[in-house]
Amino acid sequence: MSQHLLSLIVLICLAFPCTAQYKLLNPQVSKIVASVSEERIVEILKKLENFGTRNLLSSQTDPVRGIGAARQWIYSQFRSYNSRLEVRYDQYKLKKITEPNSRVPRDVDLYNVVAVLPGKVHPEQRIIISGHYDTLVLTGPTGNSTTAGETPPAGDPNGPEPGVTDNASGTACVMELARVMSQYEFDKTVVFIAFAGEEEGLLGSSLYAAKAKKAEQQIEAVLNNDIIGFEASGSGRIENRRVNVFSDDPSDSPSRTLARYAREIGERYVPMMKVDTVFRSDRVSRGGDHTPFAQEGFAAVRLSSPQENLANEHTTTDTFSNTSPAYITRVTKVNGAIAASLAWAPMAPETSEQVERGGRKVTRLFLTRGTARSDAVLKWKHSPDKDHAGYVVVMRSTTSPFWEREVFVGKVAEFTVPDVSIDEWVFGVKAVDLEGNESLVSPYVPLGRPKRVVEVY
């Protein structure tokens, strides 16, 4: 085939993108999605509500009420799902925080509950599905602060704190997916975490993320679920076929790359749901347990209801009767599709490398203009698995939020997009296996030039 004809075919593929042959539905992923049970989610929501309170400062020893009883039940449920789940407590001793309206006014033990499903091919690669199980009722007029810096004081930690939507909903998602996904073997390790101390300042997740960073864990993705139970806002507006996915800047950060993946894979396997990417780290002046992971450099996103009822959050009215199990079930299905696809997907290709230049390490992109100086020449490094199908090159304009064009290029390690300026487009590449599982996109992201210091005499 002549180079001219090849170039013409490539340009046609890029100009008229269509559903590619590699975009298959993996039957195993579809089965996981179909196995998510609304009935079991209802059981989890009601059980967590029945602990009365799950406040971090509530009883650690009462067998039926308080955070101690709740964490023991979550632990025992994880243990009951499958013997291959490695279940443990991730425990810390917190010192009291001495400041006005402190939510940690005394020393307290904090327990994250962790269930690990080891991978079989790339066990070092981790996919985390998380949600916090602790609760908080505030004594402010609405239970919420909408102005940065304002912190309403907490109420009695042993008083009623049902916390069904915030955040038994996220915990139910984590637990139900642990039950379903533990029946399968994945290439990568899947970790299910119920965090504590979120309401006191993302304490459990911050400690876990810092420890993971220090241990040099390879966390490929964090899917954090927080407030996924509301389908109606305080104004009465209904949104029960849409879920928001928050991700941090910049536009091709690891978290933003994961958000785009969540949108594409979530809607592919759960077409009843629209996965809306919100390009900000979280809701205005608020936070969640994905944030500490993003701050440590991991890809982390938050899934959350687009319609929040702030009159119920952090109040005694955050009950089972004011949440939507059907909506939680659909969001859990979206999580399952994303996590399973990624856990079976190939490793992402490498589009850059670290090199020594002028006595310091710099990042060199595998992206050039080619010998003609007017093409886009993409190269990548990858160690394919045995079920490798090939690679897909993607591109978008610099002002577009999503990949606009793509072409399946097969089992190659280099590809030229003819007569296309690398200055006007963002490029990326992903790996695909024979079952249709896709890796995250590895973007070709140029780094800014270091500031030059000029001395003047």
Please identify, among 311, 344, 377, the residue that sits at the C-terminal boundary of a domain.
344
- 353: exposed, middle or buried (Cβ count in 10 Å: 0-12, 13-18, 19+): exposed
CB-CB contact of 101 with 151 (8 Å)? yes
pLDDT at 145 over 80: no
Cross-sheet strand order for the sheet of 442-443: 405-410, 388-397, 425-433, 442-443
* Residue among 335, 330, 310, 334 at smallest CA distance from 322: 310
Answer whether residue 210 is part of any domain.
Answer: yes
Contact criterion met (CB below 8 Å) for 171 and 194: yes
Task: Verify that 162 and 212 share a domain, yes or no.
Answer: yes
**Do 230 and 305 form a contact (C-beta atoms < 8 A)?**
yes
Task: Find, among 96, 126, 297, 293, the residue nearest to 205 by Cα.
Answer: 293
Q: How confident is the model at residue 22 (pLDDT cuts 50, 70, 90)?
A: low
Determine the 3-state secondary structure of 270 from DSSP: coil
Residue 304 has pLDDT above 60, yes or no: yes
Asked if the model's pLDDT at residue 18 lies above 70, the reply is: no
pLDDT (tens digit per residue) in 419-437: 999 999 999 999 999 999 9
Pick the last residue of a domain from 344, 367, 384. 344
How many other C-beta atoms lie within 10 A of the C-beta of residue 349? 23
- Considering the chain, what percentage of its residues have pLDDT values greater than 70? 90
Do 177 and 263 belong together in one domain? yes
pLDDT higher than threshold 80 for residue 83 = yes
pLDDT confidence of residue 361: 79
Under DSSP, is residue 73 helix (H, G, I), strand (E, B) or coil? Answer: helix
> What count of Cα atoms within 13 Å lies in the side-chain half-sphere of residue 31?
7
Indicate if 261 and 394 belong to the same structural domain: no
Q: What is the pLDDT of residue 360?
A: 79
Q: What one-character-per-residue DSSP string does 295-364 give? A: HTT--EEEEE-SS--TTTTTSTT-SGGGS-HHHHHHHHHHHHHHHHHHHHSPPPPB-EEEEEETTEEEEE
- Write down the pLDDT at residue 152: 63
Shared domain for 272 and 178, answered yes or no, is yes
Tell me if 242 is assigned to some domain: yes
Question: What's the token pair of residue 77?
Answer: 């449920």
Residue 235: inside a domain, yes or no?
yes
Question: Dihedral of CA 165/317/58/44: which sign?
Answer: negative
| Tens digits of residue pLDDT in 346-386 | 999 999 998 877 777 788 899 999 998 999 999 999 998 88
Report the amino acid identity of residue 65. Answer: R
Whether residue 107 contacts residue 98, with contact meaning beta carbons closer than 8 Å, is answered with no
- Tell me, yes or no, whether 390 and 272 share the same domain: no
pLDDT band at 1 (very low <50, low <70, confident <90, very high): very low
Shared domain for 19 and 82, answered yes or no, is no
DSSP letter (8 states) at residue 165: I
pLDDT at residue 149 above 50? no
Q: What is the pLDDT of residue 246?
A: 97
Residue 457 lies in a domain: no
Mean predicted confidence (pLDDT) in 171-176: 98
Rounded to whole angstroms, the Cα distance separating 246 from 51 reads 30
Residue closest to 47 by CA, chosen among 136, 172, 174, 227: 172
140-151 per-residue burial string, b: 16 or more CB within 10 A, e: under 16: beebbeeeeeee
Residue type, 235: S
Asked whether residue 449 is domain-assigned, the answer is: no
The CATH number of the domain where 238 resides is what? 3.40.630.10
Examine the domain organization and report whether 101 and 161 are in the same domain: yes
Query: Of 344, 360, 388, at which residue does a domain stop?
Result: 344
Domain total in the chain: 2
Per the domain annotation, does 392 fall within a domain? yes
Contact (CB, 8 A) for 266 and 337: yes
Same domain? For 276 and 163 the reply is: yes
How many CA atoms are closer than 13 Å to the CA of 425, on its beta-carbon side? 25
What is the pLDDT at residue 456?
75
Query: Which residues are 218's β-sheet partners?
Result: 125
- On the 0-12 / 13-18 / 19+ scale of CB atoms within 10 A, 424 is exposed
Res. 237: pLDDT tops 70:
yes
Q: Kindly state the helix (H) or strand (E) to which residue 192 belongs, with its residue range.
A: strand 188-195
Per-residue pLDDT reduced to its tens digit, 93-138 = 999 988 877 888 899 999 999 999 999 999 999 999 999 999 999 8
Q: Which residues constitute the domain of residue 246?
A: 36-344
3-state helix, strand, coil in the chain (%, to 5): 30, 25, 45
User: Going by C-beta distance under 8 Å and a sequence separation of 6 or more, which residues neighbour residue 426?
Assistant: 251, 252, 395, 396, 397, 398, 443, 444, 445
Do 272 and 311 have their domain in common? yes
Does residue 376 sit in the same domain as residue 329? Answer: no
Give the residue-averaged pLDDT of 285-310: 94
Confidence of residue 144 (pLDDT cuts 50, 70, 90): low
Give me the CATH number covering residue 422: 2.60.40.10
Residue 14 lies in a domain: yes
Instruction: Choose the weakest-confidence range: 129-143, 160-174, 240-254.
Output: 129-143
Same domain for 10 and 105, yes or no, is: no
338 has pLDDT over 60:
yes
- Smallest CA-to-CA distance from 74 within 133, 11, 29, 128 is with 133
Residue 45 lies in a domain: yes
Instruction: Confirm if 204 and 235 have CB atoms less than 8 A apart.
Output: no
155 lies in the same domain as 276: yes
**Average pLDDT rounded to a whole number, residues 443-455:** 71
Indicate whether 455 pLDDT > 80: no
- The residue with tokens 């590895």 is 442
In one-letter notation, the amino acid at residue 66 is: G
Confidence of residue 20 (pLDDT cuts 50, 70, 90): low
pTM: 0.91
